[in-house]
Structure 1
Amino acid sequence: MSLHAVRQHLAQAGIELQVHKKRVKNINFRLKPYTLMVSAPAFISTAQIEQAIAKRVSWAIDNHAQVLEQHQRKHRPLADSSTADSPILLWGAEQSLTLSRDKKLAYYREQLAATMPSLFDKWQPVVGAYANEIRLKKMHTRWGSCNTRARRIWLSVYLPAYPLECTEYVIVHELCHLHHANHSHEFWQTVATAMPDYRYWHDMLAGKTGQLD
C-alpha cells in the first residue's frame, strides 16, 4: 500500500499521517489525537517505510478512539464540573444574560442550529462542495470534523461563543475536506481560494478548546 493510499485510508478515520526521517535506529510510531506520527531512520527506503506503516493502519484506527477519550478527559474544561451561572458570549459579543454550563450549551446549540443553514447555503457554492448531512456535537478538542465518505460534517456547539466568521471558517475548512481528505498544500490552497482571510479566524480559534480535523 502506497503512502498516498495509507493517507487516504487514515484520513477517512479522521487521522492525519505525518512521516519524518530522523537520526533514529528503528521506525517509531506515535498515535496522537487525529495524528499518526512516524519517525524513520534516514537510511530506510520509502518502500520499507510504506510496508511498516501499512501494517500499523488497523492498529491506529482501532486505538484512535481510546486516545481521543484520554486526551479529552485530560483537557476537559474545569467549567464542566460547575453548575454556577456565568456570563455568556454570542458571536463574540458579551450578552446581558448569565447561564449555567448546561443551559449555556443548550443556548449555543439553539443559536448554531438556527444560523447554520444559511451559512452552508452561502459557502457550499463558494467551495464547490456539498455536505449530505450536518450535525452539531459537544466537542472539547475539535471545532469541526468531516467524514469524507459519508459527506457528513460535525460542528462544535461551542462555536457561537466566537465571532460568526470563525464558524464560517470552520464550515469552509470542513467543506474543503470534501475535495482533499488531508491537510496537504492543495487543501490549504483550496481554503485560501474560498476564504482569503481564513488565517485570521484560524488563529483566533487556535489554542482555544478545539482543533480542526
Structure 2
Amino acid sequence: MARRTISVEIIDVQGVRVKVTRKTVKNMYLRVKPPDGRVEVTAPARASYDVVARFVASRRQWIDKAQEKVAAARARQEEAGRRAAGQDADHDHTGTADAAGTHADQPVAMLDQPWSEERKREAKAILNGWLPSLLAYWAPIIGRRPTNISLRRMSTRWGSCTPATGRIRLNLELAYLPPQYLEYVLVHELTHLWEHGHGVRFQRSMDRFMPQWRRLRRELNRIP
C-alpha cells in the first residue's frame, strides 16, 4: 500500500544535502540515488530535524561509499556518451512563450551532428536512465509533474514545454552532456509549468529551487 506523503524538505547534515520526505511510516529509510549520488530519507511524519540528522550522520560512512559507487558508474556512462557524441553543441537556454502557450528556448545555432537511429536509441536509453530519479526528486519540490516527457532531436533548443497540457520536450543532445545540465533544463521546464515567462517570479522560483541555475546556464553557453 502506498504511504501518504506529509511533507518534503531539504536539510543539510554535515555538508550533505538531504531530501527528507515525511510519510505515514514507522521507520526511517535512507537511499543514495543516481545519477549524482543525492541522498534521500523517508521518515515518519513526526520525526524531528534532530532525529533525522542523527540518523543520517550515523550512516555517513555508508553514504560516502555509496556515492563513490554512483560517481564511478556515472563516469563510465559519461565516457561512453563522449565517445558516441563527438562534438558537443553550443546553445543559450533562454526562451519565450509562443502564441500557442508553448515555452521554448530562443533559437540559436547548434553544431550539426549526425543522428543515426542507433544513436537516437542510445541517447533515449541514457536519458530514460536518469529521468525517473530526477523527477522523483524534483516534482515534489516544485509541485508539478509533467503529463508527458518526449525526447527528440531539437536543432535549436535544449527544451520546451506547454504549460496548458503539462508536456515537456527535451533535446536528445542532453544525453551526451554531464547530467547536471539535464537536471537544470528539467527544473527550468518544470518551473515553467508554474511560471510561463522569464520574469521576476520565474527567477525567484529558480533561485529557490536551484540556487546555482545561473552558473549552470553560463556553463552551458560556454560549451565548445
Bucket of the pairwise TM-score, normalised by the shorter protein? 0.5 to 0.7
- 2-structure distance, mates of 1:170, 1:120: 12
Among residues 102, 111, 123, which one is paired with 1:77 in the alignment? 111
TM-score by length of 2: 0.51
C-alpha displacement at 1:118, in angstroms? 1.3
Among residues 101, 108, 119, which one is paired with 1:12 in the alignment? 101
Among residues 78, 99, 103, which one is paired with 2:118 in the alignment? 103
Change (3 A) 1:199 1:133: same
C-alpha displacement at 1:78, in angstroms? 4.0
- 1-structure distance, mates of 2:112, 2:188: 28
Q: Which residue of 2 aligns with 1:157?
A: 172
- 1-structure distance, mates of 2:172, 2:112: 17
Q: Please say if 1:192 is aligned against 2:207.
A: yes
TM-score by length of 1: 0.53
- 1-structure distance, mates of 2:133, 2:112: 33
Change (3 A) 1:9 1:161: closer
Q: Which residue of 2 aligns with 1:65?
A: none
Change (3 A) 1:8 1:206: closer
Kindly provide the amino acid, as one letter, of the partner of residue 126 in structure 2. Q
Where do 1:104-183 residues align within 5 Å? 104-183=119-198
Following TM superposition, the consecutive aligned residue runs of length 4 or more in structure 1 with deviations greater than 4 angstroms are none
CA deviation profile, 1:191-212 (whole Å, cap 9, x unmatched): 1100111122211222659xxx
C-alpha displacement at 1:127, in angstroms? 1.3
- 1-structure distance, mates of 2:122, 2:198: 32
CA deviation profile, 1:59-103 (whole Å, cap 9, x unmatched): xxxxxxxxx7xx7xxx463433xxxxxxxxxxxxxxxxxxx8553
Change (3 A) 1:163 1:149: same
Change (3 A) 1:177 1:78: closer
- 2-structure distance, mates of 1:174, 1:8: 12
Unpaired segments of 5 or more residues in structure 1?
1-6, 16-32, 35-67, 81-99
Kindly provide the amino acid, as one letter, of the partner of residue 152 in structure 1. R
CA deviation profile, 1:172-205 (whole Å, cap 9, x unmatched): 1001101111111110110110011112221122
C-alpha displacement at 1:156, in angstroms? 0.8
- 2-structure distance, mates of 1:104, 1:192: 35
RMSD, aligned α-carbons: 2.7
Unpaired segments of 5 or more residues in structure 2?
1-95
Change (3 A) 1:132 1:8: same
State the identity %. Answer: 29
